Structure 1
Amino acid sequence: MRHGITAIAVTAGLALTVAACGGSAEPSAPSASQASQAAADPASVSGTVTWWDTSDAKTEAPTFQALIADFQAKHPKIKVNYVNVPFSDAQQKFKTAAQGGNGAPDVLRSDVGWTPGFAEQGYLLALDGTPALEDKDDFLPGPLGTVTYKDKIYGAPQVTDTLGLLYNKALFDKAGIAEAPKTWAELKTAAQALKSKAGVDGVYLNPDSYFLHPFLYGEGASMVDTSSKKITVNAPEAVRAVEIAQDLVTSGAAAKPAYTDGYANMQAAFKDGKVGMIINGPWAAKDIFAGTAFKDPKNLGIAPVPAGSTGKAGAPVGGHNLVVYAGTKAPQAAQLFVKFMTSAESEATVAQKNGTLPARSSAYTQAVKADPVIAAFQEVMKTAQPRLALPQASDLLTPLSQNYIKILQGQPAQDGLNATAGEFVKLLPDYAKQ
């Protein structure tokens, strides 16, 4: 999985017929009687649940399909229609179906960045007080924040992730670096040592705005302030954050990034031992281990992203939630399905089979933490912060990415972020500029 960037679209051959789920798209919680019946007597609940799964059809979906079989054995009166929808198509496809009131699934595997927008548009059912959110406090705070919008909860976290600092231990040893850098200043020093002593580029920055977030969080910056309805992407804190990233490139501490296929170029350079450090998530580990520099998986170091001048490190929460369509004709069955698929047992199974991070604390069993990548990222998750809870949040990343590239190429940070703020006004006409 890659979050905040374009995912590879893979069409599944196992897709079943999509059940039409018409009805109102007004978000509301199920009635107390419905919720209590599903909680008190789940065996009495019947119905058909269509699930749009947006996971990779080849590498991840088989695990979820096996869990569906377990769910149906436990709930024989509930039938699950499984449909694998390519991630790249799912957001718009769900919007279109929900807007028309026909063809939307009962349950969707939603990227965390989509969930607030779907809630704002009235496409999701609030799940407060339903079986879907049983043991709610067991969810990690970061993932739980991604389903919370205007004091209601519109989904259950299924898997989570964040960005960490990945580094080549052998190159660190060659350069005489004893431990992972804890600040951006230390990272620059380490990068320069890697270049002078190990003969490789120190760090590679992906020029996508999702990967800019750790710099922003480290300076206490944000794209917008939702409480005051102000655009803050060009505030002094944000300028300082972007200038830190810009300096890494212009000083030569960081490799000059490719401005097309930035992610792929970053991965290739790192896994083949041509660069000592990158910022990436747990989803990248399998690809990294296929590289020549990581034939010994123990060579991969994983640490939290460095802190900025605030002294705090932060990275965005990624992952996926299970959300229920507001017009579902089977709310009780959908709630029970979400409950089962996001239970600690199910999330532990998914973690072991797919190598993803659970969104529940109790799912980090000893068996799950036997995977060193998961164990390391469990600690990294302590620095994870929920992304902007704004329907337009995903749209804001596009102009920020466009201008971030220009800044890394040498444009003054203030100019580039002022231009970004101008684009934000078009997306957020009721927000004030700095």
Structure 2
Amino acid sequence: MRRGISIAAAVTVVALSASACGGSGGSASSKPKDPKDVSGTITYWDTSDAATEAPAYQALIKEFEAKYPKIKVNYQPVPFTDIEQKFKSAAKSGKGAPDVIRTDVGLMAEYASLGYIAPLDGTAALKDTSDFNTGPMNTTKYNGKTYGVPSVTDTLGILYNKDLLKKAGIAGPPATWDEFIADAKTIKQKTGAYGTYVNPDAYFLLPLLYSNGADMADTSSKKITISDDKAVTALTTAKKIYDEASMKVDFANAYQNMQTAFKNGKVAMLVQGPWSVSDDLTGPAFKGKESNLGFAPVPAGAGGTAQAPTGGHDLTVYQGSRNLDASYLFTQFMTSTASQITIAEKNGTLPTRKSAYTDAVTADAKIAGFEPILAKTARPRVALPQVGSLFTPMQQNYAKILQGDESVKSGLDATAKQFQQLLPGYSVG
């Protein structure tokens, strides 16, 4: 695991900065060119699904080239699982990096801390930010600067089987975690179906942490907070849900079994994201009766606020690009309202712009269902370059807590100690 920027990486950052300032396309600090005068070739790395999503993006690229005939886009699909290491290797060496990258929001802080992506404040890529939903927009920030433009987004909410809740005599989805547990018990007693299925992936623990006022760490005070009293409350609730409200979890195949149980009508409520809906609608509980699938925000906890992590992708620009002005224009075009409407209609993904939620876009029940959830509850993960690495120890100890191999407090204390190895300079709060 990286514990800081190495000397080699630091030298690379300096080189990239020099390259960016001396490139033919201009830089964030130079006067932007008139768009009609911008020319050159840029390379775009796209991680969207090659079969189902990429064609819509490729069509937009043709529109961009028609609008800006002096700019050529070299489109390169890169598997999502490969892009992080591939980009970091290219950026560190200064060879073969793309000009524009479709970047997972969880990687923003790391790329920015290494100097691999350019700040976009004041560039053509980032004009009016007021149209973006707060959750996606906040994923682009690091140390007071903006390093990306939100492209597509998602968050977690409650997906539920309306028929099962009705049969149990429950008027609507739970507003608090205590109600969630109570409703789950009622559903089991009155319908025979389980109230929920706990996903043991640590990412799905975040709504419980956030809604109880807890988090992994506090960057302002440089404290690790994963073992504080609020986190203990959150994990105690998670353990209670697992023990009292969940179908038995097969930890080896948890996600697949969770999905199967839900779409077959054996589970009534899930903490889940919009990406699962297409699969949900293939099961007998929802196929041909799509309106039976309900959408609601995650419940609130002791903190009184329902919050869930923001997912999705931002477009970022390589700091060492020699065609920055063309890269800025491309980023602006691909994240415009018109482009986001096109992508939402063709791919069924959630737009990041408020103005993109047109009647045609929200005709998709999934998008209509998650729009208010996104606006009300989505928040970014803690802006740490190491945030991705923090999930590994948290995942390991969360599973032990759920299975009773560790107490809540001992499991969180162990997680905090492991966090200290990844966050030099941080103390345990």
Provide the rounded CA distance (Å) in 2 between the counterparts of 1:143 and 1:275: 30
* Aligned positions of 1:325-344 closer than 5 A: 325-344=318-337
TM-score relative to the length of structure 2: 0.93
1:255 maps to 2:255: no
Residue 89 of structure 2: aligned partner: 96
Q: Which residue is equivalent to 2:413?
A: 418
Query: Which residue of 67, 70, 84 corresponds with 2:63?
Result: 70
Could you tell me which residue of structure 2 aligns to residue 317 of structure 1?
A: 310
Q: Structure 1 residues 285 and 31 mapped into 2: Cα distance closer, same or farther (>3 Å)?
A: same
2:362 corresponds to 1:369: yes
Cα offset, 1:260, TM superposition:
2.2
Distance in 1, Cα, partners of 2:63 & 2:14: 29
Quote the Cα distance in structure 2 between the aligned partners of 1:48 and 1:263. Answer: 42
Q: Which amino acid aligns with 1:238?
A: A
1:153 matched to which residue of 2?
Answer: 146
Amino acid paired to 1:427: L
Q: How far apart are residue 152 of structure 1 and its match?
A: 0.8
Partner deviation per Cα, 1:15-74 (whole Å, 9 max, x = no partner): xxxxxxx9933397854685421xxx2111101110110111111111101111111111
Distance 1:87 1:32 in 2: 28
Aligned to 1:430: 425
CA contact (8 A) 2:117 2:319 kept: yes
1:25 match: 16
CA RMSD of aligned residues (A): 1.5
User: Residues of 2 paired with 1:241 and 1:229: CA distance?
Assistant: 21
Residue among 51, 56, 74 paired with 2:44: 51
| Number of residue-to-residue matches in the alignment | 409
Find the aligned partners of 1:184 and 1:97 in 2 and give their Cα distance.
45
Instruction: Please list the CA deviations of residues 166-224 of structure 1 after superposition, one character each: whole Å capped at 9, or x if unmatched.
Output: 00011111111110000001111110111111111111111011100000011100100
- Give the CA deviation at 1:267: 1.2
1:294 to 2:286 alignment: yes
SS at 1:159's partner residue?
strand
Letter of the 1:392 counterpart: Q
Give the C-alpha shift of residue 254 in structure 1.
Answer: 1.2
CA distance in 2, matches of 1:355, 1:228: 40
Between the aligned partners of 1:90 and 1:347, the Cα distance in structure 2 is 23
Secondary structure at the residue paired with 2:32?
Answer: helix
The residue aligned with 1:399 is: 393
| Separation of aligned partners in 2, 1:400 and 1:188 | 23
- Is 1:136 matched up with 2:129? yes
What is the distance in 2 between the residues matched to 1:32 and 1:117?
Answer: 20
Q: Determine the C-alpha separation between the residues in 1 that align with 2:42 and 2:136.
A: 24
Name the residue aligned to 1:36: 32
Kindly indicate whether the alpha-carbon contact (under 8 Å) linking 1:72 and 1:79 is maintained by their aligned counterparts in 2. yes
Q: Deviations over 1:245-270 (max 9, x none)?
A: 1011122x112222123222211111
Distance of aligned partners of 1:35 and 1:370 in 2 relative to their CA distance in 1, 3 Å threshold: farther
Q: Residue 151 of structure 2 aligns to which amino acid in structure 1?
A: Q
Percent of residue pairs bearing the same amino acid type: 55
Once residues 433 and 310 of structure 1 are traced to their aligned partners in structure 2, the CA distance between those partners, rounded to angstroms, is 21
Aligned 8 A contact 2:28 2:120 in 1: no
Query: Does 1:270 pair with 2:301?
Result: no
Structure 2 unpaired stretches of 5+: 1-12
Q: Quote the Cα distance in structure 1 between the aligned partners of 2:380 and 2:39.
A: 35
Aligned counterpart in structure 1 of residue 106 of structure 2, from 107, 113, 116: 113
When residues 32 and 298 of structure 1 are mapped into structure 2, their CA distance, relative to the original with a 3 A threshold, is closer
Which residue type is aligned with residue 386 of structure 1?
P
CA contact 1:24–1:326 (8 Å) conserved in 2: no
SS in 2 for 1:79: strand
> TM-score, structure 1 length as denominator?
0.92
Q: Secondary structure at the match of 1:391?
A: coil
SS of the counterpart of 2:130? helix
Structure 1 residues 343 and 23: CA distance shift in structure 2, 3 A: farther
| One-letter amino acid matched to 1:254 | S
Alignment of 1:284 onto 2:276: yes
**Match in the other structure for 2:119:** 126
